[in-house]
Structure formats: structure tokens, C-alpha cells
Amino acid sequence: MSNTLQGKVALVTGASKGIGAQIALDLAAQGAAVAVNYSSSKQGADDVVAKIKAKGGKAVAVHGNLSEPDAAKSVIAETVKALGPIDILVNNAGIYEMAPLEGITPEHFHKQFNLNVLGLLLVSQAAAQHFNPNGGAIVNISSGVSTVTPPGSAVYTATKASVDAITAVLAKELAPRKIRVNSVNPGMIITEGVVAAGFAEGDFRKWVESITPLGRVGNVEEIGSVVAFLASDGASYVTGETLHVTGGPR
């Protein structure tokens, strides 16, 4: 086990399951102390913390629904109180809902933008005030949809295109403070959420596999390892990038 993140403090938002949980496990495996943020699934977050502790790592579960404007400050405050100044922030908390143009409502729009865009900005804003003075890394979890632009995903795709743009802007804003900002744009990854939504099998998956050069969907480990790299000093000269982890360009 490499300890490339030994002594670092990481916060992973939306880390009670799926991609976020795997990111938390991977950062911990490389030596980071991890704050596992969750909104509704305390059990899921506690399970991730228990797995990290079972392997000798350090972790805490931190509650906060990041679609609520005041939650960002409390999540950051709890993290810093428990673990110390932040070295790594992974903005993974997000939501997706599909709807064709005629099905878009203000509620559908705001539900996704409030978490995927505003929540990400507010957490980054709060975290930046409590980052290690030596700098660190922010990794935003965007999505391959920002370039694949599937039909019926106008609002969700717009949120992720926003994340890509925000990544580029914040990379410039935070560079003087030695905080690198990159985004990871996953393709279709099999998670509990994807299974629950009915996308794990059937026509949508077949379509994704048909347009993916590697010819398959991905798994959470294939995202976690890339995030851990971008969070590490191995990526010390990488900022403002959107790294597509999608099995190849569409």
C-alpha cells in the first residue's frame, strides 16, 4: 500500500455510497484522514468510516445536505474540528434527473443546480478558507455527459458543463494559493444509484457500450484511482483540467 497522501486531510462530499464511497476508501488507503460527508444515508457513511478504520486509517462521518445553503459552512467546520486544515476536497455530491425539454420544470432545474453547481461552489468557498497554507487539491466530479450530451438530459448536462467551467475558473483563482483544481468526468459507472434507476441493464447501457471505444461500462475503482492521483503530489503540475474517465472519446 502506498502512502502518497500520508498526513493529508481530505473531505469527500456525498461519500456514503457509490463513487464517493470508493474515493474515500482510496484516499484513506493512501494515508489520508478522510471526512465522509453524507446527506441522508448515515448508515452508508458509518460503513465507509468503519472500513477505513478496520484497515488502520482515520475517518469521520460528517452530516450535511449540501443543497441547503448553510450546510457547506457546517460541513467544513466539522471536518476541520475533527481532522485539522484541509489538504484535499473532492466535490462528489450530486444528483441527476432526466427529462425531455417538455418535461423541464423550475423544480427539476433548481433541484439539480442547487446541489451540483451552487452546492459545489459554496463548499469550495468554505473549504478554501480552511485549506492548509501550503496548498492542496480540489477535485470536482463532473460527468462525461458534458461532452456526450445525451437527449433528455438538458438540465443535468448543463450542471456538469458548469462544473467543467467552474473548474477552469477556480484553477486560476486559487493557483496563487497553491490549490490545484481539476475535474474527473466519469462515463457510465455501475453504482447502487445506477442500478436503482434501472440503467445498469437494458437499452441505455447497450447504447453507452456501443459508443465507448473500450466497449464497456466502468467501475467505481476506476474513478477512485484517478481522483487519488489528481489529489496527490504526482499531479503537482496539473490544474484546470477535465479528465474524462469514460473508456475513450465519443
Catalytic residue among 38, 96, 156, 237: 156
Q: Is 156 a catalytic residue?
A: yes
60 within 8 A of 81, measured Cβ to Cβ:
no
**182 backbone φψ class: left, alpha, beta (φ>0; ψ -120 to 50):** beta
Q: How far is CA 178 from the centre of its chain?
A: 20
Give the DSSP per-residue string, 12-41. Answer: ESS-SSHHHHHHHHHHHHTT-EEEEEESS-
H/E/C letters for each residue in 142-169? CCCHHHHCCCCEHHHHHHHHHHHHHHHH
Helix (H, G, I), strand (E, B) or coil at 97: coil
Task: Give the burial string for 133-149 (b: 16+ CB within 10 Å, else e).
Answer: eeebbbbbbbbbbbbbe
Phi first, then psi: what are they for 83, rounded to 5°? -125, -20
DSSP symbols for 227-242? HHHHHSGGGTT--S-E
Query: Are the C-beta atoms of 167 and 179 separated by less than 8 Å?
Result: no
What are the beta bridge partners of residue 10?
34, 88
List residues with catalytic annotation.
Answer: 156
